[in-house]
Structure 1
Amino acid sequence: MKDKDSLKMLKKDYDNIKIPKELDDVVNDALNSNIKYRKYQNKMVIAASLLLVVLGINISPAFAQTLSKIPIIGNLVKIITIKNYSIDENGYKASIDVPKISGLTDKKLEYKLNSEFEKEGKKLYEDFLEEMEILKSDKVQGHSLVESWYEVLTDNEDLFSVVVYTHYAQGSSNTIRKFYNIDKKNETVLSLEGMFKNNDYINVISQNIKEQMRDNMKKDKNKHYWIDDEIKEMNFKFIDKNQDFYINKNGELVICFDKYDVAPGYMGLVEFTIPNNVIKPLLNK
């Protein structure tokens, strides 16, 4: 009964959306096409319909809210780029995408996440502008870049994992990442520490990573990690208790390191997939 009421609300919100004349013309042209072009017509109608849904989500908050409550359809409302901070001026270039998550029942969590996305994106852009002005005043030739974008890593019934990348380039380059793992059923942001019974996971996961490092270097001579080196201070010892991570599409824990964390720069961003049988006894039930 609730689903029927939601569908009625969806139809009402949908009908109240003002359709731009140009889009209306596209739909009418598709419907009035000669039967000879029926396949093309169908594609045009589908494309126009999808555009109407996207337009509805962005123009009408009520439409998006109702849509998110409809089974299956609601799963489409996940994450969009709500804003892009950009500049391209005499060798100084920035492009910063600000994501927005929607569809969570817990609106406080949704608001918290989106506020963080907006705050960090804005600060990144303002910091870049400030640095740009300093370099310009020092008559430094423009050769500075900052980019930020996001990628959905996992999206299933239980989990939504997204990573936000930030890439810097000025002479040398570096890329850092921030991960968000959302438990859909409990509507909480997972932390590595919170997934385990006690701190034993730190040593168990670290030892498994060391084994993988050594095995990878044996198989591929071009790979190198900071382990068993003569300079012991550089050697990888343990993960942080809240090390960056995500859960992949196979339900496996993936431990992540930024550039230079556990290997030379040419190794880039480094990840290790931890077998489920290694950590299963340590997990919270």
Structure 2
Amino acid sequence: MNRMQRLKEEYRSIRAPERLTEVFDAARECAASSPSRGWHFVRWAAAAVCCLFLCFTVALNLFPSFAAALDQNGAFTPLVQILTISKTNIEEESKGATVVQGSVTGLADEALSDQLNSELAGISDGAIEQVQTLLADEAPLFVNSTYETKFSSDRMLSFLVYVDSSSASTENQVYCYNIDLEKNEVLTLSDLLAEQQPDYIDTISAEIREEILTSPESDFFYDENGALLFETIEADQSYYINTDEQLVIVFDQFAIAPGSMGTPEFIVDSVSVAPLLEP
């Protein structure tokens, strides 16, 4: 179901607000006290309400920008989204954890939904276990795990799950999820780009090298011998789509830079994914 169809369905399910009932009750009381004047008021009120709903329907059908504006301003809730189902806090001497677990809801494919939510539960359980197994240890340990929706439309849901731990050193993990809501499947970078942009690996790699060379932090991307740590992206490199419908490439900690750089990200301008996100 595309965005316009969804908006129409949600319009059809709209219930009259309680305030409207109060208006008609007042109209009936008015009609009882003065039959002629009250009847004109009832007809006027009914006509006004019908006109408002008619205008709303016409706007949804004739002006996509109106429907899109409602959607972007939160008037309608996405059918598929990730919601918090639990939050765990552990507080012990020199140790602690805050773990927010999300769950994907609204997917048409129940098997895919179960698979994703099993993975999300596993990530959260692992973060909690990391602290619990070391409670007797004297070394401090703090773990924070949460999720973040990066992009959501009728066609695609893109979100990240983070697990950050701090002990003798800091460890950052990021899990990228990109779901095609029409095909009900997880989209790898190859799934997203290979067919329409076969040279995406070379194109994206060249842009990332250029970004590194011009970055104020470029020195962190070289080894002790002066060689650039980044060579090329993988065919199925981790990525997400941001709110500006841009492709963002994500690297694991230590993959192309020291651990102090966390999980480096690069916005890719040379590859357009916007046409691939439309229903």
Partner of 1:108: 111
Alignment of 1:246-285 (within 5 A): 246-276=240-270, 278=271
Q: Is the CA contact 1:74–1:103 (under 8 Å) kept in the aligned structure 2?
A: no
CA distance in 2, matches of 1:223, 1:215: 7
The Cα of 1:123 is off from its aligned counterpart by 2.7
SS in 2 for 1:96: strand
Q: How far apart in 2 are the matches of 1:275 and 1:269? A: 19
Equivalent in the alignment of 1:145: 142
Quote the offset at 1:95 in angstroms: 1.5
Distance 1:109 1:83 in 2: 20
Q: 1:181 to 1:203 in 2, by over 3 A?
A: same
Give the gaps of 5 or more residues in structure 1: 12-71
Q: Is structure 2 residue 86 aligned with structure 1 residue 86?
A: no
Higher RCO (CA < 8 A, seq sep 6+): 2
Pairing 1:238–2:232 present: yes
Query: For the residues of structure 2 that align with 1:229 and 1:243, how far apart are their CA atoms?
Result: 26
CA shift, 1:182, in A, is 1.4
CA shift, 1:223, in A, is 4.3
CA distance in 2, matches of 1:115, 1:228: 38
Query: What are the within-5 Å matches in structure 2 for residues 189-204 of structure 1?
Result: 189-195=186-192, 196-197=194-195, 200-204=199-203
Q: 1:77-130 deviations in whole A, cap 9, x for unaligned?
A: 622211123311111101211101111122221121111111221133223311
Residues of 1 paired with 2:224 and 2:199: CA distance? Answer: 26
8 Å contact from structure 2 (residues 80, 157) kept in 1: no
Deviation readout 1:144-170 (Å, 9 max, x if unpaired): 111100111112232211100100100
Which residue is equivalent to 1:213?
212
Q: Deviations over 1:157-191 (max 9, x none)?
A: 32211100100100221211001111222222110
1:69 aligned residue: none
| 1:171 aligned residue (164, 168, 171) | 168
For these two proteins, the number of residue pairs brought into alignment is 207
Instruction: Look up the SS of the partner of 1:132 in the other structure.
Output: coil
Check whether the contact 1:213–1:225 (CA below 8 A) recurs between aligned residues: no
Seen in structure 2, the aligned counterparts of structure 1 residues 193 and 7 have a Cα distance that, compared at 3 Å, is same
Aligned counterpart, 1:34: none
CA contact (8 A) 2:144 2:164 kept: yes
Larger deviation, residues 79-88 vs 144-153:
79-88
- Shift of the 199–7 alpha-carbon distance from structure 1 to 2, 3 Å rule, reads closer
**5+ residue gaps in structure 2?**
1-7, 17-74
Distance 1:199 1:77 in 2: 30
Residue identity in the other structure for 2:154: E
| AA in 2 matched with 1:86 | N
Residues 79 and 101 in structure 1, CA contact (< 8 A), matched pair in contact too? yes
Please tell me whether the aligned partners of residues 96 and 131 of structure 2 are also in contact (alpha carbons under 8 angstroms).
no
- Local SS of the residue matching 2:207: helix
% identical aligned pairs: 30
Which residue type is aligned with residue 160 of structure 2?
A: V
* CA distance 1:97–1:249, change in 2 (3 Å): same
- Counterpart of 2:262 in structure 1: which amino acid? G
Find the aligned partners of 1:122 and 1:265 in 2 and give their Cα distance: 24
Q: Give the match for residue 56 of structure 1.
A: none
CA distance in 2, matches of 1:268, 1:172: 12
The reply to whether residue 162 of structure 1 matches residue 159 of structure 2 is yes
Q: Once the 2 structures are TM-superposed, how far is the Cα of residue 215 of structure 1 from its aligned partner?
A: 1.9
Measured on the aligned residues, the alpha-carbon RMSD in Å equals: 3.1
d(CA) in 1 for partners of 2:223 and 2:199?
A: 23
Deviation at 1:258, TM superposition (A): 3.2
